[in-house]
Chains A and B, each alone.
Chain A
Amino acid sequence: MASFLLQRFWQSILLVFIVSILTFFLINLAPGGPSSMMRMDATEEERQAISAQLGLDKPVIVRYGEWLGNAVRGDLGDSLSSGQPVIQRIAERFPHTLQLTILTLIVSVVIGMILGIIAAMKRNRASDYMINFIAVIGLSVPSFWLAIMLILLFSVTLQWLPSSGVPPEGVSLWEQIKYLILPVIILSTSTLPTIVRFMRSSMLEVISQNYVRTARAKGVKESVVIYWHAMRNALIPVVSIVGVLVPRLLGGAVIVESVFGWPGMGRLIVEAANSRDYTLVMGVTIVVTLLVVLTNFIVDIVYSKIDPRVKNF
């Protein structure tokens, strides 16, 4: 185990390093440059001046070397577009994103698993088709459309929920939750179907196994048979999916964040990309990489917790 941790640690360091190289060269290969240079009405001289100011006139290799040198000392540099430290810009957004991510995960995992299991139990019957249908709708209806429709219904017409923004400080818990309801619903519509579908398929696989029969023979309640004995065996694909969803939610909730004016990482990433804020892109990429490494590591550990036969370390 100790050697596994150590091995994994070095692999991850190498991974972060490689990702940083690839990303650095990729963003420099991409057409365009920092937005300050990319104004329609800027002149060549202005572009050159800014380029020199931002240090972009040096060769890519040299710049990468400098970036790396600072990064290993924990300094991810300053954002090219705002001048603020990259760490600060990420730190401002991260908690908001985390809030949404965690809630969405809880909602979609809990509901997704329940729906998936129900679908599996009612295989090829009306409720299975219905759940499948809902899942597909959730998957193929675009988030922006649904988001606007929900705002229209709950905020404009019924005025039950705030149309956007993060909860102001010092309001009651329920008030705070009100701000989260719509974004979480919208985010869940894209994560939930995945979980529902995988859960269903995985449950069908498990439910005919002999140990399920044993559980029934013990006189265990059908619900316990399903939600305890069978489900545990069906969890591996779902856990894998959750592992993939975490980084995706942390960085990819762009539409929800723009529609609901949510100050999250997704928009930060898009803004950074659109404005070719190289340092910010690098910073975000490193953070995302670390999260990916971490979630995948946890998922790998969880595999063998779920199924003791799995020996991936």
Chain B
Amino acid sequence: MQKTANEPSVMLTTVEKKPDRRAWTRLRKNKAAHASLWFLILIHVVVFIGPFVWTMSPEATNPANTLASWSVSHPFGTDDLGRDVFSRMLHGGRITLLVGAGAMVFTVLIGGIVGACAGFFGKWIEAILMRFTEAMMSIPNFFFALVALTVLGKTPWMVVLVIALCSWMEIARVVYGETLKWKQQEFVEASIALGAKPLWTLVKHVIPQIIPSIIVASTLGIAWAILTESAISYLGLGIQPPTATWGNMLQDAQAYIWTAPILGVLPGIAITVVVLAYNFLGDGLRDALDPRHIQK
């Protein structure tokens, strides 16, 4: 590190009186995360308010005007059925963002609870929960989803739930491993020595240490959920057409990969950018929660 003698050495007496440790203020100092946050807010606003402004139906087909390039009436052109891509992006965004975040929340909740409890409590709880996790990894997802969605109906919320039920095992494993590692630390023992209930120790001391991993898992989980939705729609199990999602727009574009690759580019970019923003936000959050990190 360079000598920074010329830096105005802050008077010893004034600073650090009441350091503001709130994550929010620290987060605001991280440019990438801050920008990502605003971007995500913006995109949610656009996607949820946009359709009231751009009222063209996302489902209205027009065989006479398929694969049109951009124009005033169709800013992003039209798709293979002559539907307005802009409108589909807006409406699809609603579902995709909901599915992504919704499935991620469930995934993290289930996976986090199972993994943390298994790792922390050990003994038969561990045996049951971890074997259960392994069982869920082994049961063929296709049939699970097929039966669940046939019985429960293919509403977006059910799709979210089923995606979560098919993907929480990864997080459970990660959280389990981390819990095993952290629960051996002396400060955990210290908390036990204070007479804390196990749940207190787990929630207050062990889980916070795992939060960086959980953040990573959730930001990855969003991408995973969005893509899983499109994959299962290919099996007739996802959000039902003609309802647009970025995932199924991407999936539909598969057929046009040779002739109109642009069809996939828009939803692809949208997904990438959103996932990227979530990742930067996650990194920022992680830094904000890291007491050793200084936001410059």
Of B122, B224, B268, the residue contacting A145 (CB under 8 A) is B268
* Cα separation A198 to B139 with both chains bound (whole Å): 26
Which of B119, B223, B230 sits near A139, CB closer than 8 Å? B223
Q: Is the CB of B250 within 8 A of A293?
A: no
Q: Given known contacts A129-B32, A139-B223, is B264 in contact with A145 (CB within 8 Å)?
A: yes
How many Å from the CB of A42 to the closest CB on chain B?
A: 21
User: In the complex the two chains form, is B176's CB within 8 Å of A240's CB?
Assistant: yes
Indicate whether A299 reaches chain B with its CB closer than 8 angstroms.
Answer: yes
Contact between chains at B178 and A236 (CB < 8 Å)? yes
Interface residues of A in 277-313 (CB under 8 A from B): 281, 284-285, 288-289, 292-293, 296, 299, 303, 307, 309-312
CA–CA, A15 and B272, complex, Å: 38
- Give the interface centre of A15, A129, A136, A141 by most chain B CB atoms within 10 Å: A136
A285 with B184: CB separation less than 8 A? no
CB distance from A175 to the nearest CB of B (A): 28
The interface residues of chain A lying within 8 Å CB-to-CB of B23 are none
> For A27, what are the chain B residues with a Cβ–Cβ distance below 8 Å?
140, 143
Whole-angstrom CA separation of A30 from B150 in the bound complex: 8
Q: Are B173 and A269 in contact (CB under 8 A)?
A: no
Give the one of B144, B213, B250, B253 with max A CB within 10 A.
B213
Whether a CB of chain B sits under 8 angstroms from the CB of A9 is: no
Is B245 positioned at the interface, with any CB of A under 8 Å from its CB? no
Q: How far is the CA of A141 from the CA of B216 in the complex (A)?
A: 19
Asked whether A243 is an interface residue with its Cβ less than 8 Å from the other chain, the reply is: yes
Cβ of A14 under 8 Å from chain B? yes
Residue from B170, B178, B227, B272 in contact with A136 in the complex, judged by beta carbons closer than 8 Å: B272
State the interface size on chain B (CB cutoff 8 A): 63
Evaluate contact between B173 and A243: CB separation under 8 angstroms.
yes
Task: Tell me, yes or no, whether A193 is within 8 Å of chain B by CB.
Answer: yes
The answer to whether the Cβ of B78 comes within 8 Å of any Cβ in the partner chain is: no
Within 8 A of A (CB), among B130-151: 130-131, 134-135, 137-140, 142-144, 146-147, 150
Please give the distance in Å from A285's CB to the nearest CB on chain B: 6
Among the 9-residue stretches B7-15, B79-87, B101-109, B279-287, the one with 4 or more Cβ atoms under 8 Å from chain A is: B279-287
Cβ-defined contact, B212 with A205, below 8 A = yes
At the interface, yes or no: B215 with Cβ under 8 Å from chain A?
Answer: yes
Q: A19-B135, A201-B212, A269-B140 are in contact. Are A194 and B220 (CB under 8 A)?
A: yes
Residues of chain B within 8 A (CB-CB) of A289 are: 134-135, 138
Q: Which residues of chain A have C-beta atoms less than 8 A from B173's C-beta?
A: 240-241, 243-244, 296, 299
Q: Are B146 and A132 in contact (CB under 8 A)?
A: no
Q: How far is the CA of A275 from the CA of B172 in the complex (A)?
A: 32
Whole-angstrom distance between the Cβ of B119 and the nearest chain A Cβ? 8
B contacts with A: majority SS = helix
Chain A 217-238: CB-based contact to B (< 8 A → 1; otherwise 0) = 0000000000000000000110
Is the pair B184, A142 in contact by a Cβ cutoff of 8 Å? no
In the assembled complex, which residues on chain A have CB atoms less than 8 Å from the CB atom of B181?
A: 236, 303, 307, 309-310
B138: chain A residues within 8 A (beta carbon): 15, 19, 247, 285, 288-289, 292
* Residue on A nearest B210 in the bound complex, by CB: A237
Given contacts A27-B143, A31-B150, A293-B134, contact A132 B279 (CB under 8 A): yes
Q: Are A11 and B131 in contact (CB under 8 A)?
A: yes
Q: Which residue of A lies closest to B184 (CB)?
A: A309
A9→B119 CA distance, assembly (Å) = 19
Chain A positions within 8 Å of B227 at CB level: 139-140, 142
- The verdict on A285 contacting B213 (CB below 8 Å), with A11-B127, A139-B220, A237-B178 known, is no
**Given A140-B272, A201-B286, A237-B177, A23 contacting B143 (CB threshold 8 A):** yes
Query: Does A247 lie within 8 Å of B137, measured CB to CB?
Result: yes
A145, B131: Cβ atoms closer than 8 Å = no
**A18 nearest CB across to chain B (Å):** 6
Residue in A137, A142, A208, A241 whose CB lies within 8 Å of B292: A208
Q: Does A204 contact B (CB under 8 A)?
A: yes
B139:A22 contact, CB within 8 angstroms? yes
Q: Which residues of A contact B290 (CB under 8 A)?
A: 204
A-B contact pairs, 22 of them (CB 8 A): A7-B127, A19-B135, A26-B147, A27-B140, A124-B287, A142-B254, A142-B264, A145-B268, A197-B279, A198-B213, A204-B286, A205-B209, A237-B178, A239-B177, A240-B174, A243-B173, A244-B174, A247-B137, A284-B140, A285-B138, A292-B134, A299-B177
Residues of B within 8 A of A (CB): 30, 32, 119, 122, 126-127, 130-131, 134-135, 137-140, 142-144, 146-147, 150, 169-170, 173-174, 176-178, 180-181, 184-185, 209, 212-213, 215-217, 219-220, 223-224, 226-227, 230, 250-251, 253-254, 257, 264, 268, 271-272, 275-276, 279-280, 283, 286-287, 290, 292-293
Q: Measuring CB to CB, which residues of chain A are less than 8 angstroms from any residue of chain B?
A: 7, 11-12, 14-15, 18-19, 22-23, 26-27, 29-31, 123-124, 129, 132-133, 135-137, 139-142, 144-145, 148, 193-194, 197-198, 200-202, 204-205, 208, 236-237, 239-241, 243-244, 247, 269-270, 273, 281, 284-285, 288-289, 292-293, 296, 299, 303, 307, 309-312
